[in-house]
Amino acid sequence: MLQRSKDESALSIEGLSFSYGKKPALRDFNLTIAPGETVILLGPNGAGKTTLFSLICGLFAHRVGTIRIGGVDAADHRSQALAGLGVVFQAQALDLDLTVAQNLAYFCALRGIDRSTAGIRIEHELTRLDMADRVNEKVRSLNGGHRRRVEIARAKLSNPKLLLLDEPTVGLDISTRSALISHLHERPDGNALATLWATHLIDEVMPDDRVLVLHRGELAADGTPAELMQRTGKQDLAQAFNALTSSGQAPVRALAQ
């Protein structure tokens, strides 16, 4: 029987550890994301970002620690937990020979969303992304930025509690990146969708964002850009990030003391 935790968070991770053979990738990782909260995950290559996302998405099974999405334990009730998740992977995953509408309708059908509801949601999301006029175009004819917008629309169609974004602006031109960054930071009134956004691009971080710095499988920092700069004594977030991911830095447990 499905039992939801009394925890109202969009995502709750406690004591999560994972290794590839004898090589640890995550060590005692803890994270709570509230509804409507935007959290930016920064980390150098090999920090554990991909492993963390793979565990949250259920691509890897976790044996140490717990993951709850919308209060549902992902180990005990995998399907129900993943139903509360919307994902935009770094690698694009649309059928190029289907239209925008067909791609989105197919996704809705797989999620058990009836046609009437699907039509309303598709129109709403495409309108928000300025893509409504391209609904009948084949994805193959779209540029990279427009394809990414379709994927973001698709991720939101099931009304998820948590949106995972894995380097969503990689490969996009400057103007397209800027527009997408602004859109992803928008929070309409009453929108409780939480976002966990992995990136290595500092300019995607807004002043009010909560920033996690992941380094060698451990949480090196958790706070706003201003808090991270104050903690490290640096003048900008890029310098703070470099300081936090240099050798010899203590994990967040020690930094917070």
Q: Which pLDDT score is estimated for 4?
A: 54
Beta strands at 38-42 and 64-69: parallel, antiparallel or unpaired: unpaired
Q: Which pLDDT score is estimated for 161?
A: 93
Residue of 182, 183, 213 whose CA lies nearest to 200: 213
The structural domains of the chain, with segments of one domain joined by +, span 11-84+160-255
Burial class (CB in 10 A: 0-12, 13-18, 19+), 188: exposed
Residues 6+ apart with CB under 8 A from 215: 43, 44, 47, 244, 245, 249, 251
Burial class (CB in 10 A: 0-12, 13-18, 19+), 23: exposed
Select the CATH number that applies to the domain covering 11-84+160-255 from these four: 3.20.20.140, 3.40.50.300, 3.90.1010.10, 1.10.3720.10.
Answer: 3.40.50.300
Q: Which pLDDT score is estimated for 251?
A: 43
Q: Which pLDDT score is estimated for 105?
A: 97
pLDDT in tens, the chain (257 residues): 455 555 679 999 999 999 998 899 999 999 999 999 999 999 888 888 999 999 999 989 888 999 999 999 999 899 999 999 999 988 888 999 999 999 999 999 999 999 999 999 999 999 999 999 999 999 999 999 999 999 999 999 999 999 999 989 888 888 888 888 988 888 765 578 999 999 888 989 999 999 999 999 999 999 999 999 999 999 999 999 999 998 545 444 333 33
Q: Which pLDDT score is estimated for 189?
A: 52
pTM of the model: 0.87
